[in-house]
Structure 1
Amino acid sequence: MRIETLALILSLWFTASANPLFWGVALAGRSLSEPSSIFYAIALGVALTALHFVLLAVLATLVPRPTVRALLAFLAAGTAVATYFMQGYHVYLDPGMVRNVLATDPREAGELLSYAMVLPIAVRLLPPLALIYAVDIRSQPALNAIGVRVACVAVALLVGVGALMTSFKDFSAFMRGNKEARYLITPANLLYSSVRVAIADGAAKQTRQPVGTDAVLGPGWADRTKPVLLVVVVGETARAANWGLSGYARQTTPQLAALDVINFPKVTACGTSTEVSLPCMLSAVGRRAYDEERIRNSEALPHVLAHAGWRVVWLDNQSGCKGTCDGLETWRPEPAAMPAICPDGNCFDSALVSGARTLTAGRAENTVLFLHMIGNHGPNYAKRYPAEFRHFTPTCETADLGRCTQQEIVNTFDNALRYTDHVLAQTIAFLKEKQATHDTAMIFVSDHGESLGEYGLYLHGMPYAVAPSVQKEVPMVMWVSDQYRSSFSLNTDCLRARAVEPVAHDHLFHSVLGLLDIRSGIYDSRYDLASACTAPLQSDANAKSRRSIERSSPSARTDEPYA
């Protein structure tokens, strides 16, 4: 069999078996009993087949002939796995999702594996695999092979474009209203997104652009007698819709409700995945002027604090800081050293509080600890909390969400939130213990939200433009000790009034600098939540420098980073 013939058969198979989500979106609201809908579906099928044929033909040309069979087998396997997870969790395979997959550590990946996935993946994988290894690929002179390949690609392009032109009105209307649907076309989405990520990561600078190197302590520090200990807790996958302090019907935050915390009920995340949100929320530009390359190649908030002379430590119970703590002190829990908190080798988030105690014991210096939680990371929410926090029942005890009812999934998610509430209360208790030697404060904010079955969607990571609000709206809480209020002249009643207004991840960077009275040209008082709540008010002496920075920044954009 010629390579072109094999590529065509595989393309037909992918069109028929690997695109259930795309077909569902493309044919939504249409009746296949109508001739126009049948004609439209055939045109789309021809176009998809032509697209995949062109991609396979180009790939086969770019690799040595002896490796073509292995390449096609690898692509077939990747397509089968991608289709299974896309259909199971209704996710879009855009560059952000591919980056999430590549950044997933073995522990998280292991939770996604189950015996239930073997059969559906095998059904999609074995037929093309059998074909790939059952046929002999016909050999021919190089020039003839290239000529035939070019001719076949040209014909495929003409056929594909021609098919779309026959239903151009319907197709153009569909794409205008569903731009993100291109990330449902499999395996084209897998190939495109993987190449985009590879190019972006390959172009990433090894040395990050310095940010805030002029950072210094403000004049108010001349009168302070104690160092500061600030804990910034970066939550994982906690969504505002289920946050008890923000009006959720269930009390998922009972311990925080009993404490004097300031809750921010209307917070919008930078993105819908950790890979996007974490670097974005710790950057000076945030989403209001989003530039992925600039953010990934620049220093982040932890570096600016270090420039100001502070001790900065990143404590991680997840998949790393995504470059935001490069070159700084880091800490991870060691399961063998704390078996009670890490019963199966995977640590609960209270291990971070234990780490904070260890790292600050006997040290009196200005310190910021970043606690990166595993939080509500799905799909196996039941593994995020100890058994005693199984408050809402029945629960979903598997990562295969298709085997659970939506109520079981919500119950399990809410139990994990109650454990996050417990860990935050533990953190505040720890900070109260440190008040003899430090002025203490805590900020908690989640990186993104989560879908729990609404509209048939699960997990997170959808393209920002089409993501539901539950993936973009997150909880945020602040706590400050009495000594901190006094030392920094912070009016918490004013801050509490400010908290009811809409805020975003963009406020985190500048609010931390403002709360710590750190001066830098990168600081922007407009994004400091406490800038109007200190007496005397924070000086804006750096406005001229800030305007200079803004003039050198890219134009503000609010579009999806990968759109």
Structure 2
Amino acid sequence: MKFWKKARQDGPKTNKDGLIARPQLSSEALLAWGTLYVLLACNTPFWRAAMVGRDWGALSSWGFAAALLVACASAYFAFLALLTWPVPRRGVRPVLAVLFLASATAAWYMDRYAVHFDKDMLRNVLATNWDEARELLNWGLAGNVLLFGALPAALLWWPRIPQRSWTRTLVWRGSSILGALVLAMASVWSVSADFAALNRNHKEVRYLLTPANLVVAAMREAVGPGVLASRQSRQVVGADARLGAVWQQPQRQGRPALFVLVVGETARAPNFSLNGYERLTNPELTRLRASGQLVNFSHVTSCGTSTEVSLPCMFSPFGRRHYDEEQILTHESLLHVLARAGFQVLWRDNQGGCKGVCDGLPTQQLNHAKVEGLCLEGQCLDEVLVHGLSKIAADAALASDGRGNLFIVLHQLGSHGPAYFRRYPAAYKRFGPACEDESLRNCTPDQVRNAYDNSLLYTDHVLSRVVEFLDQVGGPKGHYDTAMLYLSDHGESLGESGLYLHGMPWAIAPREQTQVPMVTWLSPAFAQHFGVDMACLRERSDEALSHDNLFHSMLGLLDVQTSVYEPALDLFRPCRTSGQATAPAASPMVSPLKPAGSTR
């Protein structure tokens, strides 16, 4: 009883109104508590990755964890103390509140989908439109942000921060920053061997440390190539582009070409039955392959693991082998080269745009079109991309230049997650039960795979519709020589090793995110007039290819002569019998494929 009486006497102090008095904390103390909170409450993915394989029964493991915590907290403190120095009392609370909310949000997604947050992931977030974003918003996220972000942020305004003179503030703030830096270095030094091993062998862990990953990504994006590209016109690629000898052949006179390039979204090669997958996800393409006009390429690697990276890269002459983001974003794409050579180029989009690939060229944004049976609730199925193609082909055939050569890009919504079940109509709900929840962890792995495979089944149908259209306008009574190539921008993780969706840093990304399907279909007239040996193409279909081949293969197949063409990257060249020479003598211009000073 004496204990309880004393506890009541020594309990929380109250003010004159009987309310618990607000505690008093210096701005430095509030910063210190805030950094510790973020590291402990909003960094579960980081600690899980940093401590993987360690024995928690060993004292050394606890020592490493403690040293890592002190080092990170000290570094955070020093950065935030320096950032809020101009407004030491008023700046601390807003800055910490923003970091609490951002960290809680990022931590939920990283933990839920096992994603890493780097500059490319930030770019994906910034480029996400509302239709895509609302599929990632759910009550689980709201509860997490409220509990770990909003509530702690509100509590920041409970303690009072005392007023200090500028002289005292300068002394306290300066000495605390210096002390934090010394403490950070001492902590790292105390576990230098383990820290060096973590940094060297698992560099990806840095993309899980919140909010440092958010701040670094934002700073890199703010001064990155994307900003530069938006402020200047694109540099010319293939200024000497022109149609080659094939176009002068007698059988080609008066007969234009119509090529459709379908850019898939989030389709991964392992789930294509054309590549040996046990489920029949490509029944219609399989029938087309039996006709001998369709060829499937089974070993194709993407340039990136997100649309923001892969789309500009696959249409550029640089590719992954000479990957230079600034060069890619500030130079023209394959489409500009084709347009310069004399093709009418059209980009039709059912997603979030062309990411600069089609700048200055005709485009049609169809994701908010109003086509009965295909569009509902502000979103359209991918068959909307095929809708109206006949009229486009008819109008192009009457072009004033007399050729009417047409190159159309269809950018799919494809298998964009996590709402795979929204990517196909009810008729293609063949594999079940399918996950019908945007929060994939609420479904079993089999349910997630079922929904994803259904989306691929529908993509198979869309591609067959494209071929059907091309067969109509390019058949015996048609006006065109027609062809199609389908290539996905990147793959997708469906729960393998705890990973979902895509966007992992390319260097550590699993094959599910980098192995993509690619098929091509050539009409008999196109194959004959452009000299493509289909049997040869089928024999070489298992060779290793990548997004790097797209730029040069399109130029070679369509016989567009330009000095930027590289024959070694043209996948059709070994199987062409026409003998066209698509690489004229080198011009005085410097080839953009290997920029000066590039070490990649």
- In structure 2, the partner of 1:202 is 227
Match of 1:2 among 12, 26, 43: 26
Normalising by structure 2, we get a TM-score of: 0.90
- In structure 2, the partner of 1:561 is none
- In structure 2, the partner of 1:216 is 242
Normalising by structure 1, we get a TM-score of: 0.95
Matched, 1:299 2:324: no
- In structure 2, the partner of 1:496 is 538
Shift of 1:21: 1.1
- Superposition pairs for residues 17-32 of structure 1, below 5 Å? 17-32=41-56
Moved more, 154-163 or 279-288: 154-163
Shift of 1:539: 1.6
**CA RMSD for the aligned pairs?**
1.9
- In structure 2, the partner of 1:316 is 349
Over 3 Å counting, the alpha-carbon distance change for 1:146 and 1:370 in structure 2 is farther
* Matched-pair contact (CA < 8 Å) for 1:356–1:369: no
- In structure 2, the partner of 1:172 is 196
Matched, 1:69 2:93: yes
Deviations 1:446-497 (CA, angstroms, capped at 9, x unpaired): 0000110000000100011111111010000000101101111111111222
Distance in 1 of aligned mates of 2:524 and 2:405: 18
Distance in 2 of aligned mates of 1:377 and 1:446: 11
Matched, 1:450 2:492: yes
SS in 1 for 2:517: strand
Distance in 1 of aligned mates of 2:578 and 2:472: 29
* Matched-pair contact (CA < 8 Å) for 1:301–1:509: yes
Distance in 2 of aligned mates of 1:280 and 1:302: 13
Distance in 2 of aligned mates of 1:330 and 1:32: 57
Over 3 Å counting, the alpha-carbon distance change for 1:146 and 1:381 in structure 2 is farther
Distance in 2 of aligned mates of 1:399 and 1:313: 33
Shift of 1:213: 1.9
Matched, 1:126 2:150: yes
Matched, 1:477 2:519: yes
* Matched-pair contact (CA < 8 Å) for 1:289–1:555: no
Paired letter, 1:185: L
Matched, 1:366 2:391: no
SS in 1 for 2:300: strand
Distance in 2 of aligned mates of 1:438 and 1:546: 36
- In structure 1, the partner of 2:557 is 515
- In structure 2, the partner of 1:427 is 466
SS in 2 for 1:440: strand
- In structure 1, the partner of 2:280 is 251
Distance in 1 of aligned mates of 2:286 and 2:414: 19
Distance in 2 of aligned mates of 1:369 and 1:179: 41
Shift of 1:71: 3.1
Paired letter, 1:321: C
- Superposition pairs for residues 331-370 of structure 1, below 5 Å? 331-333=364-366, 335=368, 337-364=370-397, 365-370=404-409
Match of 1:382 among 413, 421, 429: 421
SS in 2 for 1:134: coil
Distance in 1 of aligned mates of 2:115 and 2:512: 14
* Matched-pair contact (CA < 8 Å) for 2:473–2:480: yes
* Matched-pair contact (CA < 8 Å) for 1:511–1:528: yes
- In structure 2, the partner of 1:265 is 298
* Matched-pair contact (CA < 8 Å) for 2:264–2:413: yes
SS in 1 for 2:304: coil
- Superposition pairs for residues 92-171 of structure 1, below 5 Å? 92-142=116-166, 144-171=168-195
- In structure 2, the partner of 1:532 is 574
Over 3 Å counting, the alpha-carbon distance change for 1:374 and 1:555 in structure 2 is farther
Deviations 1:343-375 (CA, angstroms, capped at 9, x unpaired): 222000000011433432333111111111010
Paired letter, 1:202: V
SS in 1 for 2:573: coil
Structure 1 portions without partners, runs of 5+: 559-563
Over 3 Å counting, the alpha-carbon distance change for 1:555 and 1:432 in structure 2 is farther
Matched, 1:278 2:311: yes
Paired letter, 2:239: T
Over 3 Å counting, the alpha-carbon distance change for 1:295 and 1:61 in structure 2 is farther
Structure 2 portions without partners, runs of 5+: 1-24, 398-403
- In structure 1, the partner of 2:108 is 84
Distance in 2 of aligned mates of 1:557 and 1:373: 34
Over 3 Å counting, the alpha-carbon distance change for 1:309 and 1:28 in structure 2 is same
Distance in 1 of aligned mates of 2:597 and 2:536: 32
Deviations 1:105-138 (CA, angstroms, capped at 9, x unpaired): 1110011111232222222113421222223444
Q: Percent of aligned pairs with the same residue?
A: 44
Paired letter, 1:154: L
Shift of 1:19: 1.0
Paired letter, 2:375: C
* Matched-pair contact (CA < 8 Å) for 2:244–2:580: no
Distance in 2 of aligned mates of 1:300 and 1:63: 47
Distance in 2 of aligned mates of 1:85 and 1:551: 37
Paired letter, 2:465: Q
Over 3 Å counting, the alpha-carbon distance change for 1:38 and 1:334 in structure 2 is closer
- In structure 1, the partner of 2:266 is 237
Distance in 2 of aligned mates of 1:516 and 1:541: 13
Distance in 1 of aligned mates of 2:62 and 2:594: 53
Paired letter, 1:251: L
Matched, 1:486 2:528: yes
Distance in 2 of aligned mates of 1:267 and 1:399: 29
Paired letter, 2:574: A
Over 3 Å counting, the alpha-carbon distance change for 1:28 and 1:549 in structure 2 is same
Shift of 1:74: 1.9
Over 3 Å counting, the alpha-carbon distance change for 1:334 and 1:213 in structure 2 is same
- In structure 2, the partner of 1:39 is 63
Distance in 2 of aligned mates of 1:151 and 1:288: 48
Moved more, 9-18 or 126-135: 126-135
Over 3 Å counting, the alpha-carbon distance change for 1:410 and 1:185 in structure 2 is same
Shift of 1:551: 7.9
Over 3 Å counting, the alpha-carbon distance change for 1:527 and 1:555 in structure 2 is farther
* Matched-pair contact (CA < 8 Å) for 1:288–1:557: no
Shift of 1:237: 0.4
* Matched-pair contact (CA < 8 Å) for 1:409–1:452: yes
Shift of 1:405: 0.5
* Matched-pair contact (CA < 8 Å) for 2:78–2:181: yes
Shift of 1:203: 3.0
Paired letter, 2:484: M
SS in 1 for 2:346: strand
Paired letter, 1:312: V
Distance in 1 of aligned mates of 2:247 and 2:550: 22
Match of 1:438 among 469, 473, 480: 480
* Matched-pair contact (CA < 8 Å) for 1:284–1:506: yes
Matched, 1:410 2:445: no
Over 3 Å counting, the alpha-carbon distance change for 1:63 and 1:309 in structure 2 is farther
- In structure 1, the partner of 2:401 is none
Shift of 1:197: 0.8
SS in 1 for 2:142: helix
Distance in 2 of aligned mates of 1:371 and 1:415: 20
